[in-house]
Structure formats: structure tokens, C-alpha cells
Amino acid sequence: MSRVYKAIVTVADRFVPQTMRPMWEHPAGPKTIFFWAPAFKWGLVVAGLGDLNRPVENLSIRQSVSLAATGLIWSRYSLVIIPKNYSLFAVNVFVLLTSSYQLSRAYMHHKSLEAKKETQEKAI
């Protein structure tokens, strides 16, 4: 652990109230990467929610598939590791859900384009 981070934790340690000590001292608490990695990963969820307004033609299917797979894999992993990391589980479930929704939007759009193409071919 870096000296700067240790210094910050040492200073912050003095200001943590007694009622918050169990969370502060937890093996997946703010003193560890188990806390900070999921905290920053919420940015992917926010970006996914922002993409809900994006036109379906501009969605990246490969990106959505990879994010959904990442969410699925890491959701499982977060419940297998010790200590169990429920914040990592929660963020990955949301990554999976937002990506799956985007994939369903892309799939429905693809199906509607195929149906439109079929009706145009029948008209000819």
C-alpha cells in the first residue's frame, strides 16, 4: 500500500465515529480495494443508463455483450471470494442489467429491420 494512502487512512481513522467502526474495519471496507473497485465501477452503470437515450442504431453490440458477460462473471466471483463482496455483486448485477437491456433494444431493432425488409421484398 502506498505511503500516501496509509497516511490518509491514518488521519481519517481518527474521525470515524464509533458507530461506523464495524464498516470502517470490515475486510471489504474503505481501507481496501474491495471497497474502491466497486465504487468506481458504478461509473459503468451511470454510462449505461446514459446510453438509454442513445439511438438504437448507434449502440455497440460488441460492447454490450462484453459488459453483460463481465457483469455476469464478476457477479458470480463476488460471492465466491472471501470476504464476500456484496457491493461488487450489486454493481455487477446493474452492469449486467443495463447491458442486457441495451442488447434487447438492439435485437428488437434488428428484428424490425428484417421485418421491414421482408415486407418490401413482398411488395416487389
Digit-coded pLDDT (tens) for 11-24: 888 888 889 888 88
pLDDT band at 79 (very low <50, low <70, confident <90, very high): very high
Joined together, the cell numbers standing for residue 30 give 474503505
pLDDT reading at 31 higher than 90: no
* Mean predicted confidence (pLDDT) in 59-78: 93
Q: Residues 6 or more apart from 78 whose CB is under 8 A from it?
A: 84, 85, 86, 88, 89, 92
3-state secondary structure of 105: helix
82 and 40: one domain?
A: yes
Number of domains in the chain: 2
57 and 111: one domain?
A: yes
Domain span holding position 2:
1-31
54 and 112: one domain?
A: yes
Residue 84: name the closest of 26, 39, 41 by CA. 26
58 and 88: one domain?
A: yes
The pTM is what?
0.78
* Mean predicted confidence (pLDDT) in 19-32: 84
Listed in sequence order, the DSSP H helices in 14-85 are 21-25, 33-50, 61-80
Mean pLDDT of the chain, nearest integer: 89
